């Protein structure tokens, strides 16, 4: 049976000591309620909800799955009740603007909430999670009337929302979308087509579901420049927001998947379903891009959630399971064997999990701070800077954290030995659940092309330079010039980090030069380049956590061991995980020829 204890102390450490959320919150009058006491209280309540309501229906939800019968979808036992508690507790509205019933707390606090819920039960968390995409779309591009009708109910959680993009013939390549939107005389549209892989596309949690659908207007240009966005509710909605009749959105089937079985993945058939246009005609994809980064950071979170849940459970098992003796002599002579945590290789796996969970959390919470600015600041320049930085860091977060999250979940299985393969323990479920994370919301390959092709090469390295300036600024501040009292201790982090960042820049320049001659270098280097970048970015956050831990230990503080563990985990990261950059560097610089020279027929 899986257990879970929300890592509130780790979160507090990031909020207060590493990422300095409170001075950041104070800059925005909207966030005046987000005081340390309030935030702690909210997260404690959230932790209780996650530990007591969501975790207990995680494994049972996997076992039971969603059922589909005569067009109706039933979520697993307990999902509906938990959702009602969630809505009653006001959790859906937590970090949404007050104008439409939100509580106006910072998006970054919402990210912490999402982490706890997603760790306790990712499948369940997808239902409210998908709503955010729909809410953001209506918020950003809806008319006042559309906001009035749809946003309030979505913010309450009375309804949920979905994003309907993928079709059988296309996922990544949305230019191939075929779903049609036929204008009616009353200004509405008849939407007709089939959408697949629609998460939370059909369920029994709420009376209505608001679909945001990509479709083509008659005579729209081919490809991505001819796609528009529509709001299509499952049940028709009148001007007062009351649900009416069935709107011809039929669930054709549910996908039978490797994992996230408690989350309903629907095939939706739109048969002249009534919809309204949202945003300008033929600009659907551009409208979606405005909050794509937020959605992708939300998916990156899955890697952290999987890693954290797997780590917590592997750690408990490693302390209990007795097998063999330590090679340096019996550690528990009174027992029949030593607990497996004495074995260096078990520790290697546990520490890898710990380093990825905590390092990944720091990366996500850093991005969440940018989302705060992006969604709240009135200063256009500041907003633009935040957007630019977020755009740079997002593909790294999405792809790197989901890849290492999957690795971490596999380590958790491995710590359990053969028992890890048995469903009862829940460890293999974490692997199955998180396997989707490197696929949806843009595969690792797509993120990597976005990073190297668009973010790095198109900007001529500006986005990278801007980020590395920040890192080098930190390094300089913590090592050479300043009067940082932890200078000596920080050198072991700051020096390799500076060196890694310098290499990162050099390699990027070399790749840019090569790409001028051979466009295939972009696709050939991209995934290794992304992973390479990810390890360096995570190193930056581990260095920051180490610095913050030294600062805490320099003062009067309780739980000194907690901060010592941060420093030692940072040491582990720098010695044992950062060196993975070596292989990625070698591979990303290799000639694309070895990939491209084999004819299709020879493969």
Q: Under the criterion CB under 8 A, does residue 252 sit at the interface with a copy of itself?
A: no
Contact with a copy of itself (CB under 8 A): which of 20, 348, 384, 460? 348
**What are the backbone dihedrals phi and psi of residue 210, each rounded to the nearest 5 degrees, phi first?**
-105, 110
Q: Rank residues 304 and 350 by Cβ distance to a copy of itself and give the closer one.
A: 350
Q: Which of residues 545-584 bind a copy of itself (CB under 8 A)?
A: 561-562, 564-565, 568-569, 571-572, 575-576, 579-584
Whether 441 is catalytic: yes
Question: Closest distance between a copy of itself and the C-beta of residue 325, in Å?
Answer: 9
3-state secondary structure of 74: strand
Q: Which of 358, 441, 558, 571 is catalytic?
A: 441
Contact with a copy of itself (CB under 8 A): which of 106, 118, 233, 259? 259
Q: Which of residues 37-66 bind a copy of itself (CB under 8 A)?
A: none
Q: Which of 582, 392, 397 is nearest to 504 (CA)?
A: 582
Contact with a copy of itself (CB under 8 A): which of 39, 200, 292, 341? 341
Q: Which of residues 383-412 bind a copy of itself (CB under 8 A)?
A: 406, 410
Q: Rank residues 92 and 352 by Cβ distance to a copy of itself and give the closer one.
A: 352
Contact with a copy of itself (CB under 8 A): which of 310, 526, 544, 547? 526
Q: Which of residues 127-166 bind a copy of itself (CB under 8 A)?
A: 166
Q: Under the criterion CB under 8 A, does residue 183 sit at the interface with a copy of itself?
A: no
Q: Are 452 and 395 in contact (CB under 8 A)?
A: no
Kindly state the tokens that stand for 598: 């084999």
Contact with a copy of itself (CB under 8 A): which of 35, 84, 143, 172? 172
Q: Which of residues 428-447 bind a copy of itself (CB under 8 A)?
A: 428, 431-432, 435-436, 438-440, 443-445
Q: Which of residues 352-371 bind a copy of itself (CB under 8 A)?
A: 354
Contact with a copy of itself (CB under 8 A): which of 19, 135, 285, 346? 346
3-state secondary structure of 182: strand
> What are the contacts of 495-501 at 24+ separation with CB within 8 A?
496/539, 496/574, 496/578, 497/471, 497/536, 497/539, 497/540, 497/543, 498/472, 500/536, 500/539, 500/578, 500/581, 501/468, 501/471, 501/472, 501/475, 501/536, 501/540
Q: Are 101 and 135 in contact (CB under 8 A)?
A: no
Question: Closest distance between a copy of itself and the C-beta of residue 270, in Å?
Answer: 19
Q: Considering only the stretches 133-141, 155-163, 349-357, 366-374, report the one whose residues sit in contact with a copy of itself under the rule CB under 8 A.
A: 349-357
Q: Rank residues 53 and 255 by Cβ distance to a copy of itself and give the closer one.
A: 255
Q: Which of residues 279-318 bind a copy of itself (CB under 8 A)?
A: 315
* Size of site (CB under 8 A) for a copy of itself: 96
Q: Rank residues 168 and 473 by Cβ distance to a copy of itself and give the closer one.
A: 168
Question: Closest distance between a copy of itself and the C-beta of residue 199, in Å?
Answer: 11
> What does the alpha-carbon distance between residue 14 and residue 7 come to, in Å, rounded to a whole number?
11
Q: Under the criterion CB under 8 A, does residue 320 sit at the interface with a copy of itself?
A: no
Instruction: Tell me the residue ranges of DSSP E strands in 318-358.
Output: none
Question: Closest distance between a copy of itself and the C-beta of residue 579, in Å?
Answer: 4
Contact with a copy of itself (CB under 8 A): which of 34, 39, 278, 351? 351
Give the list of residues 6+ apart from residue 238 with CB closer than 8 angstroms, or none. Answer: 244
* Environment class of 409 (CB within 10 Å of its CB; exposed 0-12, middle 13-18, buried 19+): buried
Write the Ramachandran bin of 329: left for phi over 0, alpha for psi from -120 to 50, otherwise beta.
left
Q: Which of 370, 421, 418, 429 is nearest to 394 (CA)?
A: 370
> What does the alpha-carbon distance between residue 419 and residue 313 come to, in Å, rounded to a whole number?
12
Element (H, E) at 14: none
Q: Which residue bears the tokens 């007591």?
A: 52
Q: Which of residues 504-523 bind a copy of itself (CB under 8 A)?
A: 519-520, 522-523
> What does the alpha-carbon distance between residue 249 and residue 105 come to, in Å, rounded to a whole number?
34
Q: Which residue bears the tokens 């925005």?
A: 28
Q: Rank residues 100 and 411 by Cβ distance to a copy of itself and give the closer one.
A: 411
Indicate which residues carry an active-site annotation: 441
């Amino acid at each position: 049976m899986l257990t879970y204890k929300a890592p509130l102390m780790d979160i507090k450490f990031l909020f207060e000591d590493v990422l300095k959320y409170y001075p950041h919150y104070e800059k925005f009058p909207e966030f005046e309620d987000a005081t340390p006491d309030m935030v702690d209280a909210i997260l404690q309540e959230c932790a209780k909800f996650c530990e007591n309501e969501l975790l207990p229906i995680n494994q049972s939800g996997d076992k039971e799955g969603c059922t589909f019968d005569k067009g109706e979808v039933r979520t697993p036992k307990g999902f509906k009740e938990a959702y009602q508690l969630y809505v009653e507790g006001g959790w859906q509205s937590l970090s949404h603007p007050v104008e439409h019933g939100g509580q106006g707390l910072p998006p970054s606090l919402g990210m912490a909430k999402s982490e706890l819920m997603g760790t306790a039960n990712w499948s369940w968390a997808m239902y409210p999670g998908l709503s955010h995409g729909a809410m953001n779309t209506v918020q950003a591009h809806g008319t006042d009337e559309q906001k009035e009708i749809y946003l309030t109910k979505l913010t309450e959680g009375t309804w949920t929302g979905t994003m309907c993009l993928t079709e059988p013939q296309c996922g990544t390549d949305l230019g191939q979308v075929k779903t049609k939107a036929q204008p009616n005389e009353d200004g509405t549209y008849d939407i007709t087509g089939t959408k697949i892989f629609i998460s939370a596309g059909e369920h029994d949690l709420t009376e209505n579901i608001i679909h945001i659908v990509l479709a083509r207007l008659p005579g729209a240009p081919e490809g991505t420049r001819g796609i528009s966005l529509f709001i299509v509710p499952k049940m028709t909605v009148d001007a007062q927001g009351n649900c009416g009749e069935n709107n011809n959105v039929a669930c054709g089937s549910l996908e039978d998947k490797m994992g996230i079985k408690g989350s309903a993945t629907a095939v939706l058939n739109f048969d002249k379903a009534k919809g309204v246009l949202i945003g300008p005609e033929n600009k659907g994809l551009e409208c979606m891009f405005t909050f794509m980064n937020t959605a992708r950071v939300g998916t990156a979170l899955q890697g952290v959630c999987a890693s954290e849940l797997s780590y917590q459970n592997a750690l408990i098992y490693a302390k209990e399971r007795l097998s063999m003796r330590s090679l340096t002599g019996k550690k528990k002579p009174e027992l029949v064997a030593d607990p497996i945590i004495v074995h260096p290789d078990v520790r290697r796996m546990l520490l890898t999990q710990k380093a990825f969970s905590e390092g990944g959390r720091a990366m996500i919470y850093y991005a969440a701070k940018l989302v705060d600015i992006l969604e709240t600041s009135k200063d256009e320049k500041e907003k633009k800077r935040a957007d630019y930085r977020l755009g740079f860091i997002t593909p790294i977060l999405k792809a790197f954290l989901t890849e290492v999250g999957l690795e971490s979940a596999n380590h958790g299985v491995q710590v359990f030995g053969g028992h890890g393969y048995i469903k009862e323990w829940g460890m293999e479920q974490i692997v199955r659940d998180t396997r989707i994370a490197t696929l949806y919301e843009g595969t690792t390959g797509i993120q990597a092309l976005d990073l190297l092709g668009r973010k790095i090469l198109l900007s001529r390295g500006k986005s990278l330079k801007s980020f590395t300036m920040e890192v080098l600024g930190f390094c300089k501040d913590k090592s050479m010039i300043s009067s940082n009292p932890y200078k000596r201790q920080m050198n072991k982090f700051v020096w390799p980090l500076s060196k890694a960042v310098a290499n990162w820049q050099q390699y990027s320049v070399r790749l840019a030069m090569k790409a001028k001659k051979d466009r295939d270098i972009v696709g050939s280097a991209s995934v290794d380049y992304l992973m390479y970048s990810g390890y360096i970015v995570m190193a930056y956050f581990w260095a920051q956590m180490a610095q913050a831990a030294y600062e805490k230990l320099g003062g009067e503080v309780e739980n000194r061991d907690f901060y010592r563990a941060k420093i030692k985990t940072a040491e582990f990261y720098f010695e044992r995980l950062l060196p993975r950059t070596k292989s990625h560097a070698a591979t990303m610089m290799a000639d694309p020829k070895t990939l491209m020279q084999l004819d299709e027929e020879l493969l």
